Chain A
């Protein structure tokens, strides 16, 4: 079976910036693909290329076997798309929005009605049918957006930062919904600035400056830094940081709340040298140990060496 989403060396430039520079992508049914990367990395442009809202300068994209550039409308029949910016009609009610997007996608009246009822229950908006979309909270707007994107039962779901600005409880709800969508065999691409969300995906692509730097399962990506992250809890913090940075094997020091993550070239040297050095500087060490790297450690290390190697 061919992949539901297949993109080959997509390029897209705007006047002076190369927004997407040679991205290839394959996503199968039932798979959640997380797109992460800093602002301006090209995530939104990539999603817009996949949905055919932008024309690629070169490269091809296929959705369920249909070429997005040449068989645009056929390809779109299989796409549900949720834009980053709220793009439903604020002056229409919840039900009117669903009905409109259902009908323009060719669903008959009875089908729209049944589907709307089902989706509103699914996303937890039952009872809000006659509320204007403008009057919904941020999280409810995104749930309505998801419902509208799912109204025609698409095989491919493209979500551009669906949970940005949404409270943690609603984010949790939203991901529970996505898991159920995935279970139906839908291919999902979701861009997100949140690492905990990326960790929920089957595969993650890390984008930077329009390029897909690395790709893999969360486990594979984290393994890139295996043995190279030390956790340090020490007081006083500013002095501890200075001493840690002075060690020749320490590449970077990141602050996570009350602790530091030290990215090291190899763990043995610093683990041997640092306790003495810290004690000498008058720093009280509560903990110093090697820990399994988090995705965040991986991405920050990738940003530090943007060629990805």
Chain B
């Protein structure tokens, strides 16, 4: 397979890549930056939600309630509002996401029996709101139970809080349910997909724009040699990126690498064939570099959203679930999450690997067929 023409094409590409330090730096630095950015940003963990309190009581009972909220790291007591209007304003401006209103007679009501507090949530972000809602209720209930227990104890009754049925939960693969362990492998897949497909999007159309294609097509280079010769140098570059983001994911974000590293890299190469192939295909279709980049860019968003990267595929309408099978990234995300977190072997993922291989071969063939050694 490796003939002289192919080898000299590959060498030429390597020389050109190495003479383009700006691109090279971007290719090496951007994945790291993106991983850090997205690794932290792409998380469903809700912590330190800013809380505005309008405390009209200020007695020891009210203070105890606030302490309970403070103790959990879901909320941060950010503002002490002087009036309901101020609290309303703080939430309206988005400086506080939740508000707690303690009525003036909270302490006396509580001593008499039961008291009420108002908890206000900014529902514009449902993810934050639903987590905050659950947390607020949980903290309130726990605090209530504690007050009840103290009261009974004061009357000399020991309260046993053991429920008759106990559900003992066990979480596998990601016992602390850390979002990073789910998100970082996704970010790795997404970065590789976006970076590599954009990288090759310009590869052939650049020759067209610079006019070098005219000299290239009168040489006996075969279309498949040109496509493969353009791709292989970028595979090695992209493989470096894979190792780079995997290493950062493991060391910095503590994502476990339970599967076989060689298996991960091997499957990544298959996946890269697909993403680089998409770029090359766009490059054979487009007339300018911008057109090629834009074409790739337009395919990127649907593949990211329909790959299960942000939104669980199970929650999508049936039609979109079917459509997601057309997204190579879907298979890679599923594979890399299984390999990293579950440490499965090849047997468990072979279906997905087969799908990826088919994608890679189809898109590469399409690029070869599409590339004609003609100027018009």
Q: Which residues of A contact B (CB under 8 A)?
A: 14, 48, 51-55, 72-73, 76-77, 79, 81, 83, 85-92, 96, 99-101, 103-106, 108, 148
Contact = CB atoms under 8 A, between A and B. Distances in A.
B215 interface: yes
A104 B374 contact: no
A91 B218 contact: no
A219 B11 CA distance: 50
B217 A53 contact: yes
B374 A88 contact: no
Contact of B215 (A55, A81, A96, A108): A81
B190 to A, nearest CB: 31
A92 B15 contact: yes
A105 B216 CA distance: 10
Query: Which 3 A-B pairs give the minimum distances between C-beta atoms?
Result: A103-B8, A87-B215, A85-B211
Contacts of A89: 12, 16, 212
B177 interface: no
24 contacts: A48-B375, A52-B218, A53-B218, A53-B373, A53-B374, A54-B376, A55-B374, A55-B376, A76-B220, A77-B220, A85-B214, A87-B210, A87-B213, A88-B212, A89-B16, A89-B212, A91-B19, A92-B15, A96-B15, A99-B8, A103-B4, A103-B5, A104-B220, A148-B215
Given A53-B374, A87-B215, A96-B12, 20 more contacts: A52-B373, A53-B375, A55-B374, A76-B219, A81-B215, A83-B211, A85-B211, A87-B211, A87-B214, A89-B16, A90-B210, A91-B15, A92-B15, A92-B19, A100-B11, A101-B215, A101-B219, A103-B4, A103-B8, A104-B4
Nearest to A158: B218
Interface of B: 4-5, 7-9, 11-12, 15-16, 19-20, 210-215, 217-221, 373-376
Most buried by A among B5, B19, B20, B214: B214
A14 B374 CA distance: 14
B219 A104 contact: yes
Contact of B5 (A81, A104, A148): A104
Contacts of B220: 73, 76-77, 104-106
Given A55-B374, A104-B5, A106-B5, A79 B12 contact: no
Contacts of A85: 211, 214
A148 B216 CA distance: 11
Contact of A51 (B15, B19, B218, B376): B218
A302 B219 CA distance: 37
Nearest to A93: B15
Contacts of A14: 376
A87 B212 contact: yes
Nearest to A108: B4
Contacts of A101: 215, 219
Contacts of B373: 52-53, 72
B214 A105 contact: no
B215 A105 contact: no
Contacts of B219: 76, 101, 104-105
